Amino acid sequence: MNKARHNKTNVIAAHAALIAYTLIALFPVFVIVINSFKTRRAIFREPLALPNADTFSMVGYETVLKQGDFFLYFQNSMIVTVVSLFFILLFGAMAAFALAEYRFKGNTLMGLYLALGIMIPIRIGTVAILDMMVATGLVNTLWALILVYTAQGLPLAVFILSEFMKQVSDDLKNAGRIDGLSEYRIFFNLVLPLVRPAMATVAVFNMIPIWNDLWFPLILAPAEEVKTLTLGSQVFIGQFVTDWNAVLSALSLAILPVMALYVVFSRQLIRGITSGAVK
């Protein structure tokens, strides 16, 4: 850190604010995790206490791992999230490149049309989507979810990525053209690496809603073998009794993969590889 520009009080104040924010943000997660290791009575008697010898219990995790096919749910969620993100990023980036790079009739209109999806929630079309999925025989397949989530994520992806792609130096793309690179190679080898931080942002934005979604799995893919983790966890929440141990354990487990994905993407966010390209 540059000493000349940072005096001590400022540094302390900034850190205090950041630490306070971190504590507030992490508190619910912390409560969920500690309670997942406690007996049911202890959860209700002292929700904020750490588990001790008396109250420690793995009963929640045991229920979760025994009940249903938890690892399958895990795997389903993972497949749906990763494949959807892949398609969102691939098609989003391609559309964004076309909008940012090529002058054609209706370019602006096309951009507006693609961005419209940001404002209209996809759930409004649930009935029509279900009809289509039934007609195409995709109900109760992971593809049903992947297609819907890809459609849901594309508008914002196109919007954000096209803004970033407009910033990529024209000279660099033109140098590639003069050297005989195809438009595909210009896209994949020159442009994509330079918008990697934006891609990571889009991925993070889309990942959480997809991972947590309950609506579409419930409607489009409720069958046992394609259940996602969020849907699978619902068996513990009844109308009259809820198995809190199991719910909290399931939630704690569900955090892990998202965290892993987040770490992957945020490394991309931080890595600035644009330096040296221009200027």
Kindly list the residues in this chain that would bind another protein in the complex (CB under 8 A): 169, 171-172, 174-181, 189-190, 193-194, 273-279
DSSP class of 12: H
Nearest alpha-carbon partner for 195 in 110, 97, 88 = 97
Q: Which two tokens stand for residue 88?
A: 């969102």
Residue 273 Cβ, how far from another protein at the closest point, in Å? 6
Residue 142 carries which side chain, given as an amino acid letter? L
Give 91 or 188: the residue with its C-beta nearer to another protein. Answer: 188
Q: How far apart are alpha carbons 121 and 126 in whole angstroms?
A: 10
* Minimum CB distance to another protein, residue 157 (Å): 23
Least Å distance, CB 274 to another protein, is 7
- Rounded to whole angstroms, what are the CA distances from 173 to 94, 100, 197? 15, 12, 19
Select 22 or 174, whichever has its Cβ closest to another protein: 174
The residue (of 66 and 105) whose beta carbon lies closer to another protein is 105
Spatial neighbors of 100 by CB under 8 A, at least 6 apart, are: 162, 165, 166, 168
Q: Which is nearer to another protein, 3 or 179 (CB)?
A: 179
Instruction: Please identify, using beta-carbon distances, which residue of 117 and 176 lies nearer to another protein.
Output: 176
With beta carbons less than 8 A apart as the criterion, state whether 142 and 78 touch: no
Closest distance of CB 193 from another protein, Å: 6
Q: Considering the complex, what minimum distance in angstroms separates the CB of residue 107 from another protein?
A: 11
Please enumerate in sequence order all residues whose Cβ is within 8 A of that of 249, keeping only pairs 6 or more positions apart, or say none. 36, 60, 61, 63, 64
